[in-house]
Amino acid sequence: MDTARTSVTWRKVCPIAELSPGEATTLDVQPPIAVFNVDGTFYAIDDTCTHETFSLADGYIEGAAVECALHYAKFDLRTGEALSLPATVDVRTYAVKTEDGHVFVDVGSRD
């Protein structure tokens, strides 16, 4: 079965003013999506660490990466690549846009 992207579905995350640089929040979908503000650039990835079940939005932002707060695996926020052990599986990334003062994530790009 074809699992390619089928549609663009923008979901509102929050007002831009509520997600300051260096902060993260989650979009309440299943599975949840973590949204990060890195020096004014927004990134969205799966919120759940691929090592065990833990929220990456609760992790530590280091440049364009996030470090899981449980066992310290790192993921690239731009590509979703697992950068360090103990995680070996990448997380999915999502398109992000800002419009009308809000942050939006394209949940339609989910497999």
Applying CB under 6 A, which residues contact ligand FES? 49, 51-52, 54, 68, 70-71, 73, 86-87
Rg (CA), the chain: 13
107 contacts: CB under 8 Å, gap ≥ 6? 9, 10, 11, 27, 29, 33, 94
Q: Within 13 Å and on the Cβ side, how many CA atoms surround 5?
A: 11
To ligand FES, the closest distance from the beta carbon of 47 in angstroms equals: 11
To ligand FES, the closest distance from the beta carbon of 84 in angstroms equals: 9
Locus of tokens 């503000």:
37
Q: Which is nearer to ligand FES, 11 or 51 (CB)?
A: 51
Q: Which is nearer to ligand FES, 56 or 103 (CB)?
A: 56
Q: Which is nearer to ligand FES, 16 or 58 (CB)?
A: 58
To ligand FES, the closest distance from the beta carbon of 92 in angstroms equals: 16
To ligand FES, the closest distance from the beta carbon of 102 in angstroms equals: 29
From CA 54, how far away is CA 109, in angstroms rounded?
A: 22
AA identity, residue 80? G
